[in-house]
Amino acid sequence: MSLPIRNLAIIAHVDHGKTTLVDALLQQSGIFREGEEVPTCVMDSNDIERERGITILSKNTAVRYKDTLINIVDTPGHADFGGEVERVLGMVDGCVLIVDANEGPMPQTRFVLKKALEKGLRPIVVVNKIDRPNVHPDKAVDKVFDLFVELGADDDQCDFTTLYASGLSGFAKNNIEDENVDMQPLFEAILHHVPPPAGDPEKPLQLQVTTLDYSEYLGRIVIGRIHNGKIEAGQQAALMKEDGSVVKARITKLLGFEGLQRVELEEATAGYIVAVAGFADANIGETITCPNEPQPLPLIKVDEPTLRMTFSVNNSPFAGLEGKFVTSRQIRDRLDKELQTNVALRVEDGESADQFIVSGRGELHLGILIENMRREGFEFQVSQPQVIYREVNGQPYEPFEYLVLDVPEEAQGSCIERLGQRKAEMQDMQSGDNGRTQLEFIIPARGLIGFRGDFIRMTKGAGIMNHSFHEYRPLVGDLETRYNGVLISFEEGVSTFYAMKNAEDRGVFFIHPGTKVYKGMIIGECNRAQDVEINVCKTKQLTNHRSATGDELVQLQAPVEMTLERALEYIGPDELLEVTPESIRLRKLNSKKLAKR
């Protein structure tokens, strides 16, 4: 197997077109047979990825161009999934950085680019979506260069190759004025600017585990790059564990990548990215090596989590009615399973046997885990997200985020005022020629909890908000992130239109008439600062009396739909979010205290 190889990662800010560009490369490489029906974003295989249009898990594919095997790793663009980015960058020798021709570099561009530059990779910059109206590709390139300099790129890295492309239309070109044809210029740039993989096939085997998969037929499958030596199907090998122990096993199956398929291989040498079956206990970062001369590679290090919340067994009055997996043992087993593949996640025991403290990169990172668990049939409850503090030189430090807002001009004043209350520091403000303003802030991560709902209201849904981890700084003091109290159900029952209409002046509801409620359940937001208990189950007394206007149509204001992310941001320190396969409910932590008020 002496085929020339190129290993590269596709990195970009979320929604700048990574997966669509990979689609175009796959289509034009000829891996699909003629007439085969191919979905868009073929690399987004996860249901949640398809629904949200984002990449969550890094994926491997491979295409052939001019007898060269090009291994492509599609990485997530959101900083919450940075653990996925960090572990796969060790597999590649180059990367393609994609930026939107209109937006230019964004917060997650900064994050993923910083990781790539630290690995010594020399990016190829692709300015994507140039066929859209009102784009400024030259400005985008200037911003990318400024970002390279700001992140400390060396001279070689700053002298990057630039291409202009449209993943959706399926073309790339070296100059903006060139004709739109196909993706060949990008293929050529990859061959010329991504170095072939280093590694000596004559040295003892070293393969680092970067991704885990599972097959009902083969068991656990480990995916990684061969750094040195060669590997053969059926050979004896050793797994160097994190604690230094050595586990010997036989390679039961060796697989390579060809398009979206895995193909069986007899052997592979240094530089190849392969999937290996036979090691049931392998974990990410460990090394498969030669049993006679075991030599481990350095373990993969990822940034520590910045946010945590408590997962616990559901103990609400509706506990166990909707979920299939409800016990602490089932929840613990599921979290342990997630730890095997999710390197940025941490799980610790809570104050009691039915509580687990789960730490992650951000609300989206933990929210995707919660969403996956509820789809699998789990029922549990979670607490308000809390930032993780650190102690530096005896002083408490907290995480700060780099925040970028793109808002209509009329909303900029209210956004600046509200972020000022949350201890944000403005870094830059730029007015565009389309009636919009871009604002940049450094803000405590605590200040972002619950801000998205305010932001949607202030911009009437027309604002765009992106943020990524910046650094740890000294604690800035107390923050007030929610200014209104909540409406709490006074008793258990079914909400009625009559009762909700009578209480409509108290605030905004989260529920519809006909919703089952219980005492202590949060059913809306109060228009005052304090919490208010109301009876939404009260029914109208039936009489023979009919009013002249009784047949007129009476309407109830539309309730606020509480999605999982919105609910996670909304709940306060004395509140819980009840998560089941069918429902998302907010409740007070201890409903017994309500009865004593």
Specify binding-site residues. 15-20, 128-131
One-letter amino acid at 187 equals F
Task: Detail the residues annotated as belonging to a binding site for GTP.
Answer: 15-20, 128-131
Outline where DSSP puts E strands in 77-205.
94-100, 123-128, 161-166, 171-173
CA distances to 201, 230, 250, 297 from 204, in Å? 8, 8, 16, 12
Query: How does DSSP classify residue 76?
Result: -
**What DSSP string runs through 326-341?**
-SHHHHHHHHHHHHTT
**Do 263 and 256 touch, CB atoms closer than 8 A?**
yes
**CB half-sphere exposure, 519, CA atoms < 13 A:** 9
**CB half-sphere exposure, 368, CA atoms < 13 A:** 22
Q: Which three-class secondary structure string do you get for 26-47?
A: HHHHCCCCCCCCCCCCCCCCCH
Residues of 53-88 as b/e, b for ≥16 C-beta within 10 angstroms?
ebbbbbbbbbbebeeebbbbbbbbbbbbbbbbbbbb
Q: Which three-class secondary structure string do you get for 344-378?
A: CCEEEECCCCCEEEEEECCHHHHHHHHHHHHHCCE
Is beta strand 94-100 parallel, antiparallel or unpaired with respect to 123-128? parallel
What residue has token string 């409740």?
587
